């Protein structure tokens, strides 16, 4: 199995692993997720219908309404949060959501190591929120 | 994290547990961003009310819900204070200020929302109920640091007024309103406010709808994150309504939160000033074709009956309501159509005073305050299979509800025609 190592800035510690769910255009704020089960409802999202629960969620950053973090906070409250997540480049909405979620978080990836480019749905990912190292095993 | 004495005292619990949690959370947030200090804020809007995303936490006690959901803590601390140096007012709530039955909400839910809003009022929040806080005089000036739960307000305040704000979120707006601090990062730092992408507007924009579509067209071409566009073009007929609509659309279709408009916004008297010596990272041209294409994916095609026609996102000002009253005078909304106009309570009071409310009601419509269709959510939307909006934001947001058949988006006059005929017709589609 091909392995890829990516380097970001670890901002919330913890080591987790699981299947990747990659949203290259992020998830729209306010209503983009059903908080009761973590299923993406965003009307033009290629991952519409998939749940973020127990995944390693990969996004470039946030998108849309300032009501972005609250939907992830609600997902946390129902126990449907991802195991960990990463953002190509941190932004303020993603920063608030991370402070709320308190799950292992890696942000600000090195040039040429954009996780949205290197990781695909179904890849197996191990991430360390302390060191910022992401280990990707390609394919299932 | 470099803290002032006052901030350290808050962190040590000197102002009570609520303030302590608030500043702890702001520090956590700052650490994720990579900020090393905080800055004072003097204005805030916060998201009060029994909003649908709070339903996941089951409790009758507002304060328990508030601490778990908005403060993200597994304990209960009364929300009983806000920062006294900060002008804080409420954003939209989950209900109209006074009515619930016409919006298909129960009395029980209406009372729950009123309870949530009133507890926030007791804590120091001015109950306003608007996504457009400037309609009631909440206007940050150039260089003033503010937080807001309204994404359109974030970009408008940054761009048009040169005030300083990031797109924080519902929770962080409460944290900042309580402790009076936000991370000194992003657009709170003057050096970060320069443009990154040059946008050439190669189209003549005339209507509010076209300005909204410009926001979507830019969203389709800008990078996914962290861009600050600088827009150049012919802005001869621009006005505040066009700009507030444009900024709102840009905010919901991107994560952009500052857009310089050369010759219009204060930090962009010239393109050189907007880029402040920084390299242009990308150049994009928006043509009339791009504006047309942005429209196509936002308006469904089938002709047929409509049940809801909604105007007013962002909340209408009094002049916009006047225009609706002038158009609807002596006409009748088609039976089976609910025609709704959304604004903030003081503007509704002015509409009453000026007779606009009476004209709209005689036509069969109604002016509502303090909320909007997408904020109310499924309880309202599920009653209307076919919906017409004059707002790109609403027409995008309601598409994530699998409760409707068709969503139509057009300008206010064509939307009013749909209300009068009770149908969506091809001729109501927006055209240049």
- What total number of domains does chain B contain? 3
User: Looking at chain B, which residue has its C-alpha nearest residue A116?
Assistant: B224
CA pair distance A132, B299, nearest whole angstrom: 43
CB pair distance less than 8 Å for A96 and B186: no
DSSP label of B186: G
Last residue of a domain, one of B296, B312, B342: B296
Amino acid A140: pLDDT: 58
CB pair distance less than 8 Å for A36 and B56: yes
The reply to whether B49 and B179 lie within a common domain is yes
Q: Tens digits of per-residue pLDDT, B296-341?
A: 888 999 999 999 999 999 999 999 999 999 999 999 999 999 999 9
The reply to whether B213 and B337 lie within a common domain is no
Last residue of a domain, one of B266, B296, B326: B296
Amino acid B224: pLDDT: 76
Please check whether residue A11 is in contact with residue A129, taking contact to mean a CB–CB distance below 8 angstroms.
yes
Strand order across the B87-90 sheet: B87-90, B43-46, B146-147
Q: Tens digits of per-residue pLDDT, B356-397?
A: 999 999 999 999 999 999 999 989 999 999 999 999 999 988
Residue B53 corresponds to which tokens in the numbers above?
């995303």
Domain around A96: 3-137
Per-window interface: A 18-47 vs B, CB < 8 A: 24-26, 28-32, 35-36, 41-44
Contacts of B397 in chain A (CB under 8 A): 30-31, 65
B21 C-beta neighbours (distance < 10 Å), count: 20
Q: Tens digits of per-residue pLDDT, B80-110?
A: 999 999 999 999 999 999 999 999 999 999 9
DSSP H or E stretch at residue A110: none
CB pair distance less than 8 Å for A99 and B172: yes
pLDDT at B403 over 70: no
**pLDDT tens for the 140 residues of chain A, in order:** 799 999 999 999 999 999 999 999 999 877 789 999 999 998 889 999 999 999 999 999 998 888 899 999 999 999 999 999 999 999 999 999 999 999 999 999 999 999 999 999 999 999 999 999 999 999 85
Amino acid B8: pLDDT: 98
Of residues B29, B56, B168, nearest to A78 (C-beta)? B56
The reply to whether B61 and B105 lie within a common domain is yes
Select from B145, B170, B403 the residue whose CB has the most chain A CBs within 10 Å, as the one to mutate to test that interface. B170
What ipTM goes with this model?
Answer: 0.95
- What total number of domains does chain A contain? 1
Amino acid A123: pLDDT: 97
CB pair distance less than 8 Å for B257 and A78: no
Beta strands in B67-196 (DSSP E): 87-90, 146-147, 181-183
Distances (CA, A) of A84 to A59, A69, A81, B116: 12, 15, 8, 32
The reply to whether B57 and B172 lie within a common domain is yes
CB pair distance less than 8 Å for B32 and A105: yes
CB pair distance less than 8 Å for A65 and B32: no
The reply to whether B118 and B253 lie within a common domain is no
Domain around B31: 5-190
The reply to whether B198 and B177 lie within a common domain is no
Please check whether residue A35 is in contact with residue A71, taking contact to mean a CB–CB distance below 8 angstroms.
yes
The CATH number linked to A39 is: 3.50.30.10
Average pLDDT, chain B: 96
Contacts of A68 in chain B (CB under 8 A): 167, 169
Contacts of A66 in chain B (CB under 8 A): 148-151, 154, 167-170, 173, 251
Q: Taking the mean position of all CA atoms in its chain, how far away is CA B20?
A: 29
The reply to whether B30 and B164 lie within a common domain is yes
Amino acid A31: pLDDT: 78
CA pair distance B419, B299, nearest whole angstrom: 16
Q: Percentage of chain B surpassing pLDDT 70?
A: 99
Alpha helices in B312-404 (DSSP H): 318-328, 345-354, 356-362, 373-376, 378-381, 392-397
């Amino acid at each position: 199995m091909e392995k890829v190592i990516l380097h970001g800035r670890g901002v919330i510690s913890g080591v987790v692993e699981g299947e990747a769910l990659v949203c290259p255009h992020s998830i729209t704020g306010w209503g983009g997720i059903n908080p009761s089960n973590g299923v993406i409802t965003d009307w033009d999202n290629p991952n519409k219908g998939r749940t973020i629960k127990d995944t390693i969620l990969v996004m470039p950053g946030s998108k849309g309404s300032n009501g972005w973090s609250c939907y992830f906070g609600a997902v946390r409250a129902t126990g449907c949060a991802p195991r960990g997540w990463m953002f190509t480049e941190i932004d303020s909405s993603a920063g608030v959501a991370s402070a709320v979620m308190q799950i292992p978080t890696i942000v600000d990836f090195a040039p040429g190591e954009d996780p949205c480019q290197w990781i695909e749905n179904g890849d197996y990912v191990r991430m360390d929120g302390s060191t910022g190292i992401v280990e990707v095993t390609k394919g299932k | 994290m470099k803290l002032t004495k006052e901030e350290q005292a808050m962190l040590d619990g000197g102002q009570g547990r609520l303030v302590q949690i608030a500043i702890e959370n702001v520090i956590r947030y700052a650490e994720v961003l990579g900020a090393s200090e905080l800055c004072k804020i003097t204005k805030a809007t916060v998201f009060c009310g029994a909003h649908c995303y709070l339903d996941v936490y089951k409790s009758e006690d507002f304060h328990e819900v508030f601490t778990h959901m908005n403060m993200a803590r597994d304990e209960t601390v009364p929300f009983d204070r806000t920062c006294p140096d900060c002008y804080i007012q409420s954003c939209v709530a989950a209900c109209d200020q006074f009515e619930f039955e016409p919006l298909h909400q129960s009395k029980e839910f209406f009372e729950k929302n009123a309870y949530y809003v009133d507890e926030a009022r007791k804590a120091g929040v001015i109950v306003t109920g608007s996504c457009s806080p400037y309609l009631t005089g909440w206007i940050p000036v150039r260089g003033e640091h503010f937080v807001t739960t309204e994404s359109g307000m974030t970009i408008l305040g940054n761009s048009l007024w040169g005030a300083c704000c990031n797109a924080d979120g519902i929770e962080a707006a409460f944290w900042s309103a309580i402790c009076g601090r936000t991370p000194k990062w992003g657009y709170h730092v003057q050096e970060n406010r320069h443009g990154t992408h040059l946008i050439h507007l190669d189209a003549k924009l005339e209507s509010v709808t076209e300005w909204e579509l410009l926001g979507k067209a830019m969203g389709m071409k800008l990078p996914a994150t962290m861009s600050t566009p600088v827009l150049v073009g012919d802005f001869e007929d621009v006005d505040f309504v066009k700009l507030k609509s444009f900024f709102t659309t840009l905010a919901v279709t991107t994560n952009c939160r500052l857009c310089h408009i050369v010759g219009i916004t204060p930090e962009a008297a010239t393109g050189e000033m907007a880029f402040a010596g920084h390299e242009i990272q990308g150049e994009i041209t928006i043509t009339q074709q791009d504006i047309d294409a942005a429209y196509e994916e936002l308006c469904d095609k089938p002709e047929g009956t409509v049940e809801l026609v909604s105007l007013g996102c962002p909340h209408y000002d009094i002049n916009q309501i006047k225009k609706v009253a002038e158009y609807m005078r002596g006409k009748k909304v088609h039976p089976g159509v609910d025609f709704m106009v959304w604004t903030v309570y003081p503007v509704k009071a002015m509409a009453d005073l000026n007779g606009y409310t009476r004209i709209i009601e005689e036509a069969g419509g109604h002016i509502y305050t303090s909320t909007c269709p997408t904020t109310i959510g499924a309880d309202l939307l599920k009653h209307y299979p076919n919906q017409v909006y004059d707002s790109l934001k609403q027409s995008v947001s309601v598409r994530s509800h699998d409760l409707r058949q068709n969503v139509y988006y057009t300008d206010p006059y064509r939307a009013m025609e749909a209300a009068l005929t009770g149908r969506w017709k091809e001729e109501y589609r927006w055209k240049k």
